[in-house]
Structure 1
Amino acid sequence: MKKTLVAMAIFSLLFQSPLVAQARDQKAEKGVFTGSMIGVVVGTLLGGAPGVVLGLTGGAMAGELAVRKDQVDAMDSALSAVRVMQQREQLAAAEHQALYQRQRALQSARVEALQQGYTFCLGFRSDSAEIEAGIGNQLKALVVMLQAFPELKLQIRAGTDARGSDDYNKTLSKRRADAVANLLMDSGLSEDRMEVHYVGKAEARYPIQDLEGLAYDRMVQLTLVNGEES
């Protein structure tokens, strides 16, 4: 009974000390100190001076374990926050990828629709490779449109009517194709976006007696093609 009273008195005095009050302001020191004091009391109750030593040791360990538990809890909280951030970043990346795929699909659909609906023919006078007045502005507008669709290329196919020799008409169709290609390049279209073909009179459809029909053979046909497939 006497040992119990002595231990309680020591415990009470220590907790009333200004040093103890100052130590309580620091979390880590508080845990170790409190554990030590509890150990003193328990040790005193158990066996006097030897019990005090054992109690101090055990109590200090208990206090240190409490501090470490707080540190582990803090680390767990930090890791949880990191995981949440990673999940949000992964979700944002997935949404961005889905948006990109939708935009690509829409662009492909627009290009396909444009391809299917565009063919432009330029007529030429007999035995001439000169582009008619007013056609230049239309070709410039075509270049502006092509610059907005880099996936597309322009196929240029030049022919002649059935009159004259094969060699002459082959040369004439080349002159017509080159005239159109040069005007397009002068308007800003790069050469690698054009496919130039000249076929002479090989594709002429009208007999030489059909003077009106011959005009339809003296054409340079412009057709949009998919640059990735050509």
Structure 2
Amino acid sequence: MKKTILTASICAASIFTATSSFAEPTGKEKATAAGFFSGGAVIGAIAGGPIGMVIGALGSSLWHEHDKKQDEKMQVKLSQAQGDIYTLEEEVAVRDIYIQELEKATQNQLAFQITFPTGTDTLNGADVERLSALATYLKDNPKLKVRLDGHADPRGTDEYNNVLSEERALSVLTALEKRGITKERIDLYAHGSSKSQSITGDYDSYSKDRRVDIEIYSPEQNNSVALSN
């Protein structure tokens, strides 16, 4: 028993002498050494005696190395997860842009039509709001132009209907001008009742004749962007 203790003491002394022969350890090296011996003390307590301390110290070193490898694996997995999140965010952003483009394309195809009561050329509040939205769209797309076609129902003389259909188109033009759209971007036509498809005496269908059709088009492409029938 005494021989075993003596042998362990010699081993411990040898380790201490060997380590003390090196240069002064750095802060990191001190931390590693502290972990080596302090962790070994716990395991050594289980193993028992000075031999247990040596075994415990070695086990502690291996355990720290294992933890280091586990941390590296976790870092790799975290980096991969962050990369996956970034990819998903890019896909969502592209999808959102695509949806916005579809919504805008749909808006481009909306029909603009202003209707009027019998014998009037006055815009109501809802029509003014629609024209305000149209003016905003035209400002965002300065290359587009507008065509206004005024109409009247077949009641009254041709002369009266021609003047009334023009006044209706002019009321739309004036509303757009007030909202920043210049006359150079607006084409105006008055058709009176010449394009009416209503049956004589059908007052319900007459309401569809009392209107201004609004067509938005690109002069460069020579095609309509939005047309109301």
Please report the TM-score for the alignment, with normalisation by the length of structure 2: 0.49
Greater Rg by CA: 1
